[in-house]
Structure 1
Amino acid sequence: MEIIGSEKRTMGSGIYLIIDPSMDESILLNKLKLCLREKLAAVQIWDNFKDDQNIIELINKICEQCHAKNVPILVNNRWELLNSSLLDGVHFDVIPENYTQIKGSVIQPFISGLTCNNDLTHVEWASRNKLDYISFCSIFPSQTANSCEIVNFSTIHDTTRNYGLPIYLSGGIKPENIHQLDELKYTGIAVVSGVMSTNKPNESIRKYLEKLNKK
């Protein structure tokens, strides 16, 4: 197993791709390979594993593909997998009660992020605990982010004014509505179905990047 040591990969700007590990493995890995032809900020593995999966084996296959392009890989919620895989970090959907204990339990430096909504106490917690980034969900109505409330743009404005955290935006964002985000300052956008549900996901990413580059 690769040892990261005292250094950790860093997330970039642009597209933060979220993938579903319950997808057929060969289809998932082939689509990911296509996605990696384009520039990605990071990849997150959604916490949606199948009961009969060899989770560590699948995670490491994903990590090896992404690390070849120096793209960091995070897992959704399942921080305990950090010690037994090539993962670079964890994204929490809610504030973990035992974050100090988690940091002490993980044997290497890791990227950490948190989903935030209109409650700025979540942003304050992420800032106080020195998380690497936050993700606001949901920006627009979305089937894949249907558990998230719609985030007010004023909340994001307040965050950029008062906190130095990198911000990713998630939920219902498509190439045709990215222009509606022009008033916001953000590092990148998180996408799921807008890319992975297509047969040519690299072309979908390219369309997003073209719009982002015009921002």
Structure 2
Amino acid sequence: MKKLSGIYLVLDPSLPWDLLCKKVHSALKGGVSILQIWNHWNQEVSQAEKIDFINEIKAVAELFHTPVLMHEDWQLANKLELDGVHFDVVPERFDLVKATLKDKYIGLTVGNNLELVSWAEEQDLSYISFCAMFPSSSVDSCEIVDQQTVVNARRITRLPIFLSGGIQPENLKELSQLPFVGIAIISGIINADDPENTVRQYLTILENMKN
């Protein structure tokens, strides 16, 4: 598997699906590298409807050769042959999860606890994602991460590091000194009138930060 990097788009399936699919297609045209389907469904949505929606997203992503990860629900991800799973917390019986998802991407949300970063390194996960770098209504369950924590994390792990939480084109440059390979975005892209152009804005800023 190739190492993940770039713009990581998290989809909120509680939004209207027709509009969401159009915006995903636009964002993929702009250069999104990874999709994650947030486990944030409306209560009335059946399992069959979830599967139909996920397969629709998967079909769009395949047009752009973009991996699709499921949030938390590793059994559904395995059933639908998605590319991996992202966990906000370490699941019970992780040994079983890891064995089931062999050759798939497994990512983990981390905060200021470097012991969790060390655990992710020991387990040889695919990546870690620090949440939240800035306050955000989309990730109100995350603590605010001290930038020094990200710097310290690079000293104890070789895993790809993503940053997430409240990242906008206007504040992205504030992260320029940190060791990361990509950023995870929810509302900053999906709520945009033109997701394709917004993704390109993020990518341009990221490229300029390297120089």
Q: TM-score, normalised by structure 1?
A: 0.91
Equivalent in 44, 48, 56 of residue 51 of structure 2: 56
Range moving further from structure 2, 128-137 or 76-85:
76-85
Q: For the Cα contact (< 8 Å) 1:138–1:149, is it kept in 2?
A: yes
Please identify which structure carries the higher helix content.
2
Q: Identity of counterpart residues, as a percentage?
A: 39
In structure 2, the partner of 1:97 is: 92
CA deviations on 1:51-93 (whole Å, 9 max, x unpaired) are 3241111111101111221110111101011222131100000
Q: For the Cα contact (< 8 Å) 1:11–1:41, is it kept in 2?
A: no
- Cα RMSD (Å): 1.3
CA distance, structure 2, for counterparts of residue 23 and residue 41 of structure 1: 21
The one of the two structures with greater contact order (alpha-carbon pairs below 8 A, sep at least 6) is 2
Task: Count how many residue pairs are aligned between Structure 1 and Structure 2.
Answer: 206
Q: After the TM superposition, which parts of structure 1 deviate over 3 Å for at least 4 consecutive aligned residues?
A: none
Q: TM-score, normalised by structure 2?
A: 0.93
CA deviations on 1:176-201 (whole Å, 9 max, x unpaired) are 11111111010100001111012211
Equivalent in 38, 46, 49 of residue 46 of structure 1: 38
1:91 partner letter? H
Local SS of the residue matching 1:22? coil
Local SS of the residue matching 2:128? strand
Unaligned runs of 5+ in 1: 1-7
CA deviations on 1:120-178 (whole Å, 9 max, x unpaired) are 11111111111000000000111111111111111101111221010000011111111
Local SS of the residue matching 2:30? coil
Compared CA separation, residues 78 and 136, structure 1 to 2 (3 A)? same
1:46-195 paired onto structure 2 within 5 Å: 46-50=38-42, 51-53=44-46, 54-106=49-101, 109-195=103-189
In structure 1, the partner of 2:25 is: 33
Unaligned runs of 5+ in 2: none
1:67 partner letter? E
CA distance, structure 1, for counterparts of residue 91 and residue 117 of structure 2: 13
The CA deviation at 1:11 is: 4.9
Local SS of the residue matching 1:140? coil
